Amino acid sequence: MRIYIKDKPLRIKRPDKVGDLAQFDHIIDDDDLLINERKFQGKLLIRNANSSTIKSILFILHNKKLKNLESVTVEAHNYEETVEYIKSKFKIIKAGGGVVLSEKGVLMIHRLGLWDLPKGKIEKGESFVEGAKREVQEECNIKVKVKEKICTTWHTYTKGDKSILKKTAWYLMESLDDSKMKPQLEEDIDEVRWMNEKELNVAMYNTYKSITHVYQKFSKMNKTQRA
């Protein structure tokens, strides 16, 4: 499981899925871990973490400025229990979004100073597919056809005194009609634009890491289908 907390990826992995330890800049064991933000730098691996450690990690990621941190990976022997413990600390909201294609490129939206992909909350009674399609059409004022699923992302934010964990299902979509395309201003979207590959690569420097992750998954899928 990968969760983006203040745009920093927190990865929960089983021990056999951690991979080459050389990829990490710092490795610390739970027994040696004095929780403070000074240890949160580069690519960090925390081994043998228990629930108290997880709680402290969540607090630091939410409340401290971690300019030099790239990612945190937690090695969890009790993977399912660890994931459920993390989920229990948040109110979970479901959302759906899309990577929309046409002969003009990939559809991006500009919201709150960053490039983003169209997405939004799933309404009561909707499936992820239905909600994703509706949100994309509403935010960009276009008509789309939903194709296959790309991936699922998790990211957190706060609303008042509540900690929210948003689960977003992402789908590949095809544009059917963009003749009336325009941004949904009431959702703080000020621009909707078709981008080619070069423009997208530039936009990825001014977006959220979770969106970069979705774009990478889409690109890998696209290359596989072309091969």
- Which residues are 152's β-sheet partners? 169
Q: What is the pTM of this model?
A: 0.92
Residue that is written with structure tokens 């973490």 in the block: 49
Going from the C-alpha of 78 to that of each of 12, 29, 83, 86, 147, the distances in angstroms are: 10, 16, 9, 12, 35
Residue that is written with structure tokens 């610390």 in the block: 28
pLDDT in tens, the chain (227 residues): 999 999 999 999 999 999 999 999 999 886 554 567 788 999 999 988 888 888 889 999 999 989 999 999 999 999 999 999 999 999 999 999 999 999 999 999 999 999 999 999 999 999 999 999 999 999 999 999 999 999 999 999 888 888 999 999 999 999 999 999 999 999 999 999 999 999 999 999 999 999 999 999 999 988 777 65
Q: Is 160 left (phi over 0), alpha (psi -120 to 50) or beta?
A: left
Taking Cα atoms as reference points, which of 224, 227, 222, 226 lies closest to residue 106?
Answer: 222
Residue 119 burial class via C-beta count within 10 angstroms: exposed 0-12, middle 13-18, buried 19 and up:
buried
Helix (H, G, I), strand (E, B) or coil at 63: helix
Q: From the options 3.90.79.10, 3.30.70.1170, 3.40.190.10, 3.20.20.70, give the CATH code of 91-226.
A: 3.90.79.10
Distance CA 103, CA 78 (A): 46
| Residue 115: other Cβ atoms inside 10 A | 21
Phi, psi of 25 (to 5 degrees): -80, -30
DSSP symbol at 33: -
| Every domain range in the chain assigned CATH 3.90.79.10 | 91-226
